[in-house]
Amino acid sequence: MFLLALIASYSLWALYENTLTPAALDQGPPTSAKPSPPGDLSPTAARALKAYGGEGVWKDATTVESTVTVGGLLFQLKGINIPPHAKITVAVQHPHTVIAPVDAAGDIGLLDGFTVMIISPEGRILETRADARDHLHNASVSDRWDRLNLLYFLGYAFWGYFTLPNQLLRTDIQWTELADGELQADYGTSLPVHSRIQRFWFEKTTGLLRRNDYTPVAAAADARVANVVFEHGVSNGIPYTSKRRVKLTPAEYGWVLPFPDFITIDVERWRLLAPSRGLS
Buried b (16+ CB within 10 A) or exposed e, 62-73: ebbbbebebebb
What is the pLDDT of the chain when averaged over all its residues?
Answer: 91
What pLDDT does residue 39 have?
Answer: 81
Q: Is the pLDDT of residue 154 over 60?
A: yes
* Of residues 250, 280, 237, 277, the one with CA closest to residue 59: 277
Q: Is the pLDDT of residue 77 over 70?
A: yes
Residue scoring higher pLDDT (10 or 176):
176
What pLDDT does residue 259 have?
Answer: 87
Q: Is the pLDDT of residue 26 over 80?
A: no
* Of residues 153, 157, 129, the one with CA closest to residue 141: 153
Q: Give whichever of 12-16, 218-222, 252-256 has the largest mean pLDDT.
A: 218-222
Q: Is the pLDDT of residue 32 over 80?
A: no
Q: Is the pLDDT of residue 20 over 50?
A: no
Distances (CA, A) of 96 to 66, 109, 112: 14, 11, 4
Instruction: Kindly indicate the confidence band of residue 9, based on its pLDDT and cuts at 50, 70 and 90.
Output: low
**Burial (CB count within 10 angstroms: exposed 0-12, middle 13-18, buried 19+), residue 59:** middle
Instruction: Kindly indicate the confidence band of residue 234, based on its pLDDT and cuts at 50, 70 and 90.
Output: very high
Instruction: Kindly indicate the confidence band of residue 279, based on its pLDDT and cuts at 50, 70 and 90.
Output: confident
Q: What is the mean pLDDT of residues 229-239?
A: 97
CB-based contacts of 280: which residues, under 8 Å, 6+ apart? 273, 274
* Of residues 66, 10, 16, the one with CA closest to residue 266: 66
Question: Which DSSP string corresponds to the chain?
Answer: -HHHHHHHHHHHHHHIIIIISTT-------S--SBPPTT---HHHHHHHHHTT-HHHHHH--EEEEEEEEESHHHHHHT--PPTTEEEEEESSSSEEEEE-SSTT--EEEEETTEEEEE-TTS-EEEEETTGGGS---SSTTSPP-HHHHHHHHHHHHHHHHTHHHHTT-TTSEEEEEETTEEEEE-TTSS--S-SEEEEEE-TTT--EEEEEE--TTT-TT--EEEEEEEEEEETTEEEEEEEEEEE-SSTTSPPP-SS-SEEEEEEEEEEEBGGGTB-
Q: Is the pLDDT of residue 16 over 80?
A: no
Q: What is the mean pLDDT of residues 109-134?
A: 97
Q: Is the pLDDT of residue 27 over 60?
A: no
Buried b (16+ CB within 10 A) or exposed e, 155-176: bbbbbbbbbbbbbbebeebbbb
Instruction: Kindly indicate the confidence band of residue 21, based on its pLDDT and cuts at 50, 70 and 90.
Output: low
What pLDDT does residue 6 have?
Answer: 45
Q: What is the mean pLDDT of residues 135-161?
A: 96
Amino acid (1-letter code) at residue 250:
P
What pLDDT does residue 92 have?
Answer: 98
Residue scoring higher pLDDT (39 or 100):
100
Q: What is the mean pLDDT of residues 98-124?
A: 98
Q: Which domains does the chain have, with CATH numbers?
A: 46-277 (2.50.20.10)
What pLDDT does residue 18 have?
Answer: 60
Q: Is the pLDDT of residue 13 over 60?
A: no
Q: Is the pLDDT of residue 269 over 70?
A: yes
